[in-house]
Structure 1
Amino acid sequence: MRVKITLRCTSCGSKNYISSKNKATHPEKVESLKFCPKERLVTLHKEE
């Protein structure tokens, strides 16, 4: 049961990335370090 998720930048709040995850095996929210083009920095992005 894969679902599409949107990753939002924690510092500026923009929606930058779309990904997918298996909700059955990973019910927790996804967090990862990604490049934010608005700030031009690598920042923490969390699942919306």
Structure 2
Amino acid sequence: MRVGVTLACTDCKRRNYTTIKNKKNDPSRIEMKKYCRFCRTHTVHKETR
């Protein structure tokens, strides 16, 4: 039920983080506000495929 996903920055489109999510609780793509070391600021990161 838990699956690994990759998070990409919405500004620079780079894949910075990997995390796990529960597909039953979060069937849609997740969004988190995290630090991007390339942009050097906190940005929204979206789940990629």
TM range (shorter): over 0.9
Unaligned runs of 5+ in 1: none
TM-score normalised by the chain length of structure 1? 0.95
Q: Deviations over 1:10-43 (max 9, x none)?
A: 0001000000001012101100110000010000
**Identity rate, percent:** 46
2:45 maps to which residue? 45
User: How many corresponding residue pairs?
Assistant: 48
Matches of 2:34 and 2:26, distance apart in 1: 20
Unaligned runs of 5+ in 2: none
Q: Stretches of 4+ moved more than 3 A in 1?
A: none
Matches within 5 A, 1:3-42: 3-42=3-42
